[in-house]
């Protein structure tokens, strides 16, 4: 007989929740049961304004009609199609439309199902590219301290968040890290890109001298580091990183899982900063969070390096059961339609100054030691309680939720990234609530 108590919808034991204090949550659950536009609805019927676009992903807002209808039609038409040796029209259309949004030369797209898979895919492509060109000694990968590149072994190896790494062994071998660009002693309370720190890119030259360029395959960075607490690139930093990579024949990978699809008020950070990488990882906003999907965009030069030998041979032994899933493809196409028809990237750019002013209005609020912003991203760094790291920010998270605002915390940093449909009234609600809560927390 089945254990009906264990299978009850009110039993929370079976689900091991990701990146969650499971015991704390299950002692006092916060259940979301609906979502529309800018709001979640919780189990108590309370409306919760979404200050985080879900997890940086619901850029078009929740339950957007065009996406819902496209997904429904596609499931009825064809629920699944394998991408190995077969195809379907929508995935080719989506690849063409996404690559068409990038600067000329970033012409090809490989599909995955998440940002973590996108990162591991990009790293594998980089390694295989150098081998295809006869430079198989280029096996070293360079990440960055405080970088977040998902939770695959490749991603946590090049990533630089200690909690994501310390319990999982030795990681990939041959990985090194650049320093992060968070310089609060010089750049605290910056509006937009900070002034100081471009020279930190020159640390790549030190790593080249240490390891020799002939051993280094790729450097991977987030143009804006999101999950570690919104760490911004100083003015000139990404440009210098690009120049050093060019000098030494190293591929530059931008992890745009968060910054892609309008978060900075442009299609991609590549456009915002005017720096063109060799590979770009994508996910989240690709389908506005509705269906899991990710991808890697690469240059024609990289793609063409594999297109040699007999044309009946598989060029890259890599892929996933759900690469290019037809339902995800339908969601992606509808999402791009929504972005274009609603002008959401331009809208985000237009409202970004109001967002910036609202964020920086918290400067004199208790416990605030730094504020950072770019596009529709914001960070509020709080002074830690001695001996209780993360406690103050988590208390703020709980109090904001109780008052109808969803925020995200990482350490003692509050990170904000609302859907691109956000209105000034929503911004006012988010920051008025935060101001009240920060005066209440210990």
Burial of 420 (0-12, 13-18, 19+ CB in 10 A): buried
The count of residues in the chain is 442
For β-strands 175-178 and 140-144, DSSP reports them as: parallel
Residue 7 has a pLDDT of 54
CB 301 within 8 A of CB 256: no
Q: Which CATH number goes with the domain that contains 376?
A: 3.90.1150.10
Does a structural domain hold residue 7?
no
Residue 1 has a pLDDT of 47
3-state secondary structure of 266: coil
Q: Does 221 share its domain with 291?
A: yes
Does a structural domain hold residue 433?
yes
Which residue among 308, 342, 376 closes a domain? 342
Q: Does 218 share its domain with 244?
A: yes
Which residue among 310, 342, 374 closes a domain? 342
pLDDT tens string for the chain (442 positions)? 455 555 566 799 999 999 999 999 999 999 999 999 999 999 999 999 999 999 999 999 999 999 999 999 999 999 999 999 999 999 999 999 999 999 999 999 999 999 999 999 999 999 999 999 999 999 999 999 999 999 999 999 999 999 999 999 989 999 999 999 999 999 999 999 999 999 999 999 999 999 999 999 999 999 999 999 999 999 999 999 999 999 999 999 999 999 999 999 999 999 999 999 999 999 999 999 999 999 999 999 999 999 999 999 999 999 999 999 999 999 999 999 999 999 999 999 999 999 999 999 999 999 999 999 999 999 999 999 999 999 999 999 999 999 999 999 999 999 999 999 999 999 999 999 999 999 999 9
Closest CA to 350 of 270, 239, 243, 427: 427
Prediction pTM value: 0.97
Q: What span, in angstroms and rounded, lies between the C-alpha atoms of 261 and 284? A: 9
CB 263 within 8 A of CB 285: yes
Q: What span, in angstroms and rounded, lies between the C-alpha atoms of 181 and 198? A: 8
Q: What span, in angstroms and rounded, lies between the C-alpha atoms of 322 and 249? A: 33
Q: Which CATH number goes with the domain that contains 114?
A: 3.40.640.10
CA 112 to chain centre: 14
Q: Does 154 share its domain with 173?
A: yes
Residue 10 has a pLDDT of 72
Number of domains the chain contains: 2
Does a structural domain hold residue 12?
no
CB 234 within 8 A of CB 241: no
Does a structural domain hold residue 92?
yes
Residue 296 has a pLDDT of 99
Q: Which domain holds residue 388?
A: 22-51+343-440
Which residue among 342, 366, 398 closes a domain? 342
């Amino acid at each position: 007989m089945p254990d009906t108590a264990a299978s009850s919808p009110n039993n929370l034991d079976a689900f091991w929740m990701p990146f969650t204090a499971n015991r704390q949550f299950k002692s006092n659950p916060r259940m979301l049961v609906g979502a529309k536009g800018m709001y979640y609805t919780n189990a108590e019927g309370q409306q919760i304004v979404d200050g985080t676009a879900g997890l940086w992903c619901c850029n078009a807002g929740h339950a957007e009609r065009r996406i819902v209808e496209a997904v429904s039609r596609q499931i009825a038409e064809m629920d699944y199609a394998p991408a190995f040796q077969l195809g379907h029209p929508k995935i080719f259309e989506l690849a063409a439309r996404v690559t068409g949004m990038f600067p000329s030369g970033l012409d090809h797209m490989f599909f995955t199902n998440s940002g973590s898979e996108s990162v591991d895919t990009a790293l594998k492509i980089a390694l295989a590219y150098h081998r295809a060109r006869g430079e198989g000694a280029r096996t070293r990968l360079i990440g960055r301290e405080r970088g977040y590149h998902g939770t695959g072994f490749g991603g946590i190896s090049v990533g630089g968040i200690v909690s994501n790494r310390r319990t999982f062994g030795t990681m990939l071998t041959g990985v090194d890290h650049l320093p992060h660009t968070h310089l609060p002693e010089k750049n605290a309370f910056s509006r937009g890109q900070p002034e100081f720190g471009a020279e930190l890119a020159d640390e790549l030259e030190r790593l080249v001298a240490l390891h020799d360029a002939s051993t280094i395959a790729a450097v991977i960075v987030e143009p804006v580091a999101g999950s570690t607490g919104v760490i911004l690139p100083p003015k000139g930093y990404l440009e210098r990183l690009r120049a050093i990579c060019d000098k030494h024949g190293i591929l530059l990978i931008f992890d745009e899982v968060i910054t892609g699809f309008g978060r900075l008020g442009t299609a991609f950070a590549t456009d915002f900063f005017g720096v063109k990488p060799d590979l770009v990882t994508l996910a989240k906003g690709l389908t506005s969070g509705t269906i899991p999907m990710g991808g890697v965009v690469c240059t024609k030069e990289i793609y063409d390096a594999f297109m040699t030998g007999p044309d009946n041979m598989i060029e890259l032994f890599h892929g996933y059961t759900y690469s290019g899933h037809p339902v995800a493809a339908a969601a992606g196409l509808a999402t791009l339609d929504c972005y274009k028809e609603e002008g959401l990237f331009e809208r985000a750019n237009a409202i970004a100054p109001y967002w910036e002013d609202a964020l920086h209005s918290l400067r004199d609020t208790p416990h605030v030691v730094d504020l950072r912003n770019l596009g529709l991203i914001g960070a509020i760094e709080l002074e830690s309680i001695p001996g209780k790291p993360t406690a103050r920010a988590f208390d703020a998270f709980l109090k904001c939720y109780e008052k109808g605002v969803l925020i995200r915390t990482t350490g003692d940093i509050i990170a904000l990234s609302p859907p691109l449909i956000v209105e000034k009234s929503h911004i006012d609600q988010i920051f008025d609530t935060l101001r009240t809560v920060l005066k209440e927390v210990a």
